[in-house]
Structure 1
């Protein structure tokens, strides 16, 4: 379950976000990437590197306002940051030791959806 639930959460995230019409869907996802980039600021345990990552994520999120590719890149960057925190830093949820690992499994699922254009299930299956 530890490895399956993050995948399910990523799929649910994409399905729920698909209910939002474009261009609002893309813009909201850019904001979500910016928020994810700042998730460890209050105690990630990596000092000044937390601010550096937040700055990079903010830039990528800004570019994501107009590009699904940048949003996907942002989620992949956050995946890497989750792995670093799982190995060396503090978990994203302080009372759940493996939460960064779960996030590192969930985020690539979201990234794949974003890199595919953040399409609705209907659009994905039509090949649009």
Structure 2
């Protein structure tokens, strides 16, 4: 469960953020990734290296005010920092030993959503239902064209 729950948290994050309309959604996510950059400061597990990392993520977040790609990069950078903290044994939540590992699993889920442009997941579901398209199931070949030979001219 400690590996599955962080994935669900990442999806829940994207769903909740889907309630925020653009361009506010992008800007709010830039602020969130900036805050994530400072999450380890109070623990100081990496000593003075916590400050350059926080500055780096502040810069990335600033660029993210206008770019979903930069926000996604910020979450991926935070993933690396989570892994470093997990290996060192200095978790993001001091009383939860595997909290940095959980964060390292959750953050790439958020990053993938951001790298896709932070779309409203709620709107995507609504559009699919409105268009009458069935939801693709596992192993679905939806969107894959049949590999039939093209007709030869005359």
**Gaps in structure 1 of 5+ consecutive residues:** none
- Give the length in aligned residue pairs: 127
Give me the CA root mean square deviation. Answer: 1.5
Q: Distance in 2 between matches of 1:61 and 1:124?
A: 28
Q: Distance in 2 between matches of 1:62 and 1:124?
A: 30
Kindly state the Cα deviation for residue 32 of structure 1 after the two structures are TM-superposed.
0.2
- Are the equivalent residues in 2 in contact too, given 1:44–1:85 (CA < 8 A)? no
1:41 matched residue in structure 2: 41
Structure 2: any 5+ residue segments left out of the alignment? 129-154
SS at match of 1:106: helix
SS at match of 2:104: helix
Query: 2: distance between equivalents of 1:74 and 1:15?
Result: 19
Please list, as runs of the form range in 1=range in 2, the aligned pairs for 1:1-128 lying within 5 A after superposition: 1-121=1-121, 122-123=123-124
Moved over 4 A (4+): 124-127
| Higher helix residue share | 1
Cα distance, 1:34 vs structure 2: 0.2
Q: TM-score scaled to structure 2, two decimals? A: 0.79
